Amino acid sequence: MEKRIAVLPGDGIGKEITQGAVEVLQTIGERFGHQFNFSYGKIGGGAVDEVGTPLPDETLELCKNSDAVLLGAVGGPKWDNLPVHLRPEKGLLKIRKELGLFANLRPTTYFESLAESAPLKKHVIEGVDLLMVRELTGGIYFGRPSERFEKDGQEAVVDTLAYTKEEMVRVIRLAFELARNRSKKVTSVDKANVLESSRMWRETAEEIAKDYPDVELNHMLVDNAAMQLIRYPKQFDVIVTENMFGDILSDEASMLTGSLGMLPSASLSENGPYLYEPIHGSAPDIAGQNIANPLATILSAAMLLRLSFGLEKEASIVENAVQSVLNQGYRTKDIAAEGEAWLSTTEMVEKVKETILQA
């Protein structure tokens, strides 16, 4: 198989972690006789510094001409005070919108070997296996108006939570499709007791559920969902929710595995290319020190192999390699216990590559 992969390292630790994932993909390519061609593009604060925009047109073109996109992370204190259209996050929001990446899949799986370093009790998180499906190109992130204005001589502001029916339908339908290959349970999260958009979301979920009689649908209010994720996370399988609720709940869910440094994500569109990124950020405080955890990006590369290229066996080998290095006790700094030895970013990448070659 021959495929083109666009790599957008972005800011902070983005370069180190995407480099690790690229090497892992190359190792898979060598081992299984696939050719992956990597091309690099700029995004985020670095792109603002170099070419004056967080998402240059060339980057977008590169992505559109690729079979998949692998992204590191964007942002950092250096760019926090820029006007809103130049903020690194704007590059991320724009690429999601331009590539039509309407669904963000964030799996949260339990790592036995990390249970001791997780902030929650082992019996609560043991065996957790949930998939957050977050709507990614609508809702309050993109609704207009979003601006300051003056009302009765006072400063005022408005943001808008807007959805079309079709925007709801496609992401909820995808959640049901995904649930069919899992434990056939969808929890739709909303705030239907307050928001009109949520009442329409709930209705839409009910309508779609009729096409999936084999899948069980539950509704949960977002505040309750935030609580239930901590109280009894094993009740969840697929969670589907609108953009901002999903942003918040997915960070919360990451703590069920012990570290934000472990969680991959995939963003899907109607016709591809899909985009893969770790859910953690650019960690500017540790950038360039070769101590970042590359595993979330490596696991994102595994999702890429599976979802964009249909390479299920290769994807599983990468995921098993990550499990295996963790089971052997190898850690990066963020997941090491007090006083425990840890590997640098590049050493961890080497361990994963070695394990893949032995598999």
What is the contact surface with ligand IPM in residues (CB under 6 A)?
89, 92-93, 247
Rounded-to-10 torsion of CA 349, 354, 357, 359:
-100
Are 276 and 71 in contact by the 8 Å Cβ rule? The answer is yes
Please report how close the Cβ of residue 307 comes to ligand IPM at its closest, in angstroms.
18
Please report how close the Cβ of residue 347 comes to ligand IPM at its closest, in angstroms.
28
Query: Between helices 295-307 and 345-358, what is the axis angle to 10°?
Result: 40
The three state secondary structure string of 171-195 is HHHHHHHHHHCCCCEEEEEECCCCC
- φ/ψ of 85, rounded to 5, equals -75, -10
The answer to whether the Cα torsion of 159, 163, 167, 171 is positive or negative is positive
- Among 191, 276, 351, 353, the one annotated catalytic: 191
State yes or no: is 247 an active-site residue: yes
Are 226 and 203 in contact by the 8 Å Cβ rule? The answer is no
Which one of ligand IPM, Mg ion, none is in contact with 209 (Cβ closer than 5 to 8 A by kind)? Answer: none
Please report how close the Cβ of residue 80 comes to ligand IPM at its closest, in angstroms.
12
* C-alpha distances out from residue 321 to 4, 120, 264, Å: 24, 25, 15
Which one of ligand IPM, Mg ion, none is in contact with 89 (Cβ closer than 5 to 8 A by kind)? Answer: ligand IPM
Please report how close the Cβ of residue 109 comes to ligand IPM at its closest, in angstroms.
18
State yes or no: is 251 an active-site residue: yes
Task: Report helix, strand or coil for 268.
Answer: strand
Q: Which is nearer to ligand IPM, 86 or 93 (CB)?
A: 93
- Among 15, 247, 330, 334, the one annotated catalytic: 247
Please report how close the Cβ of residue 251 comes to Mg ion at its closest, in angstroms.
6
d(CA 234, CA 247): 20
Which residues contact Mg ion (rule: CB under 5 A)? Answer: 247
Q: Which is nearer to Mg ion, 106 or 331 (CB)?
A: 106
Q: Which residues pair with 10 in a beta bridge?
A: 73
Which one of Mg ion, ligand IPM, none is in contact with 140 (Cβ closer than 5 to 8 A by kind)? Answer: none
Please report how close the Cβ of residue 74 comes to ligand IPM at its closest, in angstroms.
7
Which one of ligand IPM, Mg ion, none is in contact with 326 (Cβ closer than 5 to 8 A by kind)? Answer: none
- Among 223, 232, 285, 313, the one annotated catalytic: 223
Q: Which is nearer to ligand IPM, 36 or 45 (CB)?
A: 45
Q: Which is nearer to Mg ion, 247 or 277 (CB)?
A: 247
Q: Which residues pair with 187 in a beta bridge?
A: 218, 239
Q: Which is nearer to Mg ion, 75 or 258 (CB)?
A: 75
d(CA 236, CA 125): 12
Which one of Mg ion, ligand IPM, none is in contact with 92 (Cβ closer than 5 to 8 A by kind)? Answer: ligand IPM
- Among 129, 212, 234, 251, the one annotated catalytic: 251
- Give me the residue whose beta carbon is nearest to Mg ion: 247
Q: Which is nearer to ligand IPM, 102 or 176 (CB)?
A: 102
Nearest to 253 by CA among 130, 124, 113, 126: 130
State yes or no: is 223 an active-site residue: yes
- Give me the residue whose beta carbon is nearest to ligand IPM: 89
Cβ neighbors of 126 (< 8 A, separation 6 or more) are 110, 112, 115
Which residues belong to the active site?
141, 191, 223, 247, 251
